[in-house]
Structure 1
Amino acid sequence: MSTIAYDLTFLETPLLPRAAEHNKLKWMSLTYDDSAEGGESLINVIDDGFSYTLSMLLKEKKEFPFAMGEMVFLNESGQQQAVDLSMFDSLSFMAKCSSDNTLTFSLFTLDENASRQGDARSDRISTRYFHCNTQWQSFDIDITRLDTPEWWYKWYDQALSEQEYSLSRVKKISFGSSIQSPVNVQSTISIRAIVFNGKDWVYLYVFCALWLLSGALLLVWLLKAHNSYLMTKIKDTLNKERPIIAYQQLSIESHRDKDKAAILKCLATDYANSELNLEYIVHKLGINRNKINDILKTECGYTFSTYLNKLRLNEAARLLSENQDANVSEIAYSVGYKNVPYFNKLFKNEYGCSPTLFQHGNPSAVYHTKTAS
């Protein structure tokens, strides 16, 4: 997907090979020189299939001799037609000359104020110069910042301050001589890899938006998966406690041992009393503190404080699961905790999450199952 976004964002449209089916821009070769204006300069196209190669000879009969090879754009029917190049901002190519030469790249656009039917020179000409020699060189011309010669403004009575031109109606481009091109010298100019380049940031923005959306969806999925895992873990923890609760109920109802029954009954009925502690049980039942701990350790596997916390936390978990709108602090107080942060800490250690998350995770089905058991 990133490759597609890159290709759609960074546009490349080659002009060579000319006959390639995938070429979006169709064109044909024409030449133009000063012979039409009394000069004797000559220019011929040697190749326009796989490269654009020109043979040029400038002669001094005219004060400023010139010659150029033109690439005229066509429609699908092969007729000359201006094309929209507004999505491009540069033209790249490689060039080599048989001798040192300063050449002119020109771009011809239809000008709504100056272009006239039948007068090709009235089309706005925008130029840039480049120097080539006997070695292949790479060039990259910004086609949005070309210069229009002053003579064009004078000939067609246009304001020199109007430097802007539109790439939406381009008739042709050309490569030709300049006033510094050698005269009376046969020159060969070879140009290849002619490519219009542009950028369309919309596709990159869309890709980034989709990427961010995918990341957000992934994050939501991970949070849901984590919550599901947490609820499963809580359910497993509650299931492990079921034998303890069942045994406590059985112990209370069996009346096996007077002291044991009295201890379990006292804890089962007074656990919500915030003043309940080991000394409270000793004073109320008259049973030795060591004996109390021994009975709880033997019968339930817990110390007094651990067993008391489990009773309180189990009841708190039930209240949270069955009362979605209940205040956590009120539930903490109702099961015997004066210190809410301490209750939160104990609850998280027991169930792996805060009381608030447990309450809204809706594990009520676990308690219904436990009660049924």
Structure 2
Amino acid sequence: MRIQDATRQSLRFDFRLSDAIPHPWAWAALQFDGTADLSKYSTVSFLAKCAPANALTLNIAVLDGGVAKPAMTFFSCNEKGMPVSLDLTRLSIPDWWYDAEHVDIARRSYALDRVIKLEFGASPYSPHGLDAQVEIGDLTLHGRDDRYLVALAMVLVAGWTAFGIGFFRAQSRALGATVAARLTKDLSFVAYRQLTVERFEDEEKAGILRFIATHYAQAGLDLDAVAAGTGATRSKINDVLKTELGMTFPGYLKKVRLTEAARLLTDLAGATVAEIAYSVGYANGSYFNKLFKEEYGCSPKEFKSLASRLEMPSGH
């Protein structure tokens, strides 16, 4: 790696990736003196030139709990130069970072209020054994003017006051109907799951489904645990779930857990969301809330409130 120019106009650097190490990576960074608050910015744009044409990464290193967390994304460039615009709110945290720092993989969020540096560098798709030249210019951070947001908020509040209650009631009824229909469908899934466990003549197949059906609430349940508990191979387990239910193991396990959680939220008025999450195998309440909202379109707390006000299908 060799930096040619790092003026206010551009960042130019050369690099060459070698196969001498398993995962070669080269990058140049714009590092802040301390940390910078970029939370008011939502996108970054720049002109990217590179020879040969390449797929590069932008990594924004943020301070999280005293360690640097990488928030990354990919972009393309060529010899003529390509205008690039990237959404700073939709970057991803690579899985290797969680293993290296021993951090719960559920912590996918990041904040831009303490940014250490912006790195531009090679990606797993960059060519090896070639001299590569990169130039990043016209780098601009785009944000918002809060004065206009305040004015807009005042207008919206004034307008929404007139019809907010009616809209809320209509939305509540629509959401309730959607959730009730979804729960009815999922309870049919539970009934089918129980039927498959009870009626299979193939004992190995039945054993796999029965084991998952009786151990789904076990935190940390994975393919290896199912294989150890049933004597079946990992590939056999995947084949059974794919053939009989059209699902992968993670997808089926999530479906079983969330369906049972929905039933408990409907039937157990005195149980807290945290207790129900734990009872179906989720020790992390925030992660459970995220998965549940993706599945049913509302939070477990909202679901429970709807279940108490609407005639929801019973799980028994």
Q: TM-score, normalised by structure 1?
A: 0.40
Larger Rg: 1
Q: TM-score, normalised by structure 2?
A: 0.47
